[in-house]
């Protein structure tokens, strides 16, 4: 469980307006005012594409992981407050595995998920030495900094479909783990469906069958990719990017469902896409990772000249944070893509909202 300080201040018992008992769906302070997720960037002004985000054990520091660059196979950075980020601290996956092509060993779109208090799994994309297509690998570590140790073989491949990329993990209400990914059909002039499949308790063994969630439509510019799934107040939100990543048409959009396996409905204008070039100063925004965080307020009392300052019994406080990449030169990917972020992304009744 994530613990995030949230103070509720009441001076004197006569002025108390909130009960110490928490209802099933408590009113959150941030819901009492008009708000929306705040877009900020660049928060990592260096080449840091396809960022993956995690808050280990629900406590700072936050970790972010990047596609391969001059900084390493999977560079990572940290933040104590989700405001200021360090530069690259190291390489979380220096060895992507024996199954990866030695002539093209770059790693794309890493996503790290915590399985237990000291068990982490990284999902990543690389070229397979066996078939020359993109496959999805998994690596494990006892710490979020790694180094992560790769499995001997990839966990998902689809040579006939054009390969697979952009894997991300998801834990559904109730604890079932899933893997979500994109079939890279655009590499062969085919469609680009996004699939989901259950995982075993270890976080990397596929179970059951894969289910298609969405695929590309004409409005998507031929591509949907970079899926990231979260659950919030009765809705599953599947965030994704559409259009070509190396153009200013790249975006962050989303689809919604009442069931983890769908069917999903793509949200349309004016509520989607969530981010397009020009909104909040972005250029080619995409490759987002969206995670939900659950915290509780602490409990204690203080005395001052006005009476007793009381902080009530813990009240659950949920919020959503996200990271994404953005063209550094404001034109295309030739100068690299820096990391931007969204703090407290608002999700309500199937609609996502951000502010600049």
Whether the bond into 42 is cis, omega within 30 of 0: yes
Q: Which of 50, 91, 171, 251 is catalytic?
A: 50
HEC string of the chain? CCCCCCCCCEECHHHCCCCCCCCCCCCCHHHCCCCCEEEEEEEECCCCCCCEEECHHHCCCEEEECCCECCECCEEEEECCCCCECCCCEECCCCCCCCECCCCCCCEEEEEEEEECCEEEEEEEEEECCCCCEEEEEEEECCCCCCCEECCCCCEECCCCCCEEEEEEEECCCCCEEEEEEECHHHHCCCCCEEEEEECCCCCCECCCCEEEECCCHHHCCCEEEEEEEEECCEEEEEEEECCCCCCCCCEEEEEECCCCCCCEECCCCCCCCECCCHHHCCCCEEEEEEEEEEECCCEEEEECCEEEEECCCCEEEEEEEEEEEECCCCCHHHCEEEEEEECCEEECCEEEEEC
The Cα–Cα gap between 87 and 44 comes to 7
Q: Go through 212-221 and write b for each residue having 16 or more CB atoms within 10 A of its CB, e for each that does not.
A: ebbebeeebb
Which residues, in sequence order, are bridge partners of residue 212?
Answer: 195
Whether the bond into 345 is cis, omega within 30 of 0: no
Q: For this structure, is 50 an active site residue?
A: yes
The Cα–Cα gap between 226 and 275 comes to 14
Q: Which of 111, 166, 225, 317 is catalytic?
A: 225
Q: For this structure, is 225 an active site residue?
A: yes
- Give me the active site residues, please: 50, 225
């Amino acid at each position: 469980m994530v613990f995030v300080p949230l103070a509720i201040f009441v001076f004197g018992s006569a002025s108390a307006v909130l009960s110490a008992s928490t209802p099933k769906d408590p009113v959150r302070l941030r819901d009492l005012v008009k708000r929306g997720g705040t877009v900020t960037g660049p928060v990592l002004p260096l080449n840091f594409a396809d960022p993956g985000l995690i808050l280990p054990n629900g406590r700072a520091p936050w970790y972010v992981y990047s596609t391969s660059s001059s900084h390493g196979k999977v560079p990572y950075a940290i933040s104590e407050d989700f405001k200021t980020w360090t530069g690259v601290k190291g390489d979380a996956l220096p060895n992507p595995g024996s199954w990866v092509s030695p002539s093209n060993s770059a790693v794309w779109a890493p996503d790290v998920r915590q399985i237990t208090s000291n068990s982490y799994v990284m999902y990543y994309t690389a070229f397979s030495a066996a078939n020359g297509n993109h496959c999805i690998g998994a690596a494990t570590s006892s710490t979020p900094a790694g180094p992560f140790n790769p499995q001997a073989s990839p966990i998902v491949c689809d040579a006939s479909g054009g390969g697979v990329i952009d894997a991300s993990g998801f834990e559904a209400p109730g604890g079932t783990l899933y893997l979500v990914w994109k079939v890279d059909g655009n590499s062969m002039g085919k469609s680009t469906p996004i699939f989901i499949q259950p995982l075993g308790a270890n976080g990397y063994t596929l179970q059951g069958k894969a289910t298609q969630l969405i695929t590309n439509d004409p409005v998507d510019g031929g591509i949907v990719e970079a899926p990231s799934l979260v659950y919030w107040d009765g809705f599953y939100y599947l965030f994704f990017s559409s259009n070509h990543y190396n153009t200013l048409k790249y975006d962050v959009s989303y689809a919604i469902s009442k069931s983890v396996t769908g069917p999903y409905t793509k949200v349309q204008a004016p509520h989607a896409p969530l981010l397009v070039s020009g909104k909040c100063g972005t250029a080619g925004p995409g490759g987002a990772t969206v995670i939900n965080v659950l915290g509780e307020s602490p409990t204690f009392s203080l005395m001052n000249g006005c009476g007793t300052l009381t902080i009530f019994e813990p009240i659950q406080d949920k919020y959503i944070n996200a990271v994404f990449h953005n063209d550094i030169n404001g034109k295309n990917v030739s100068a690299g893509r820096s990391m931007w972020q969204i703090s407290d992304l608002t999700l309500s009744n199937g609609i996502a909202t951000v502010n600049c």
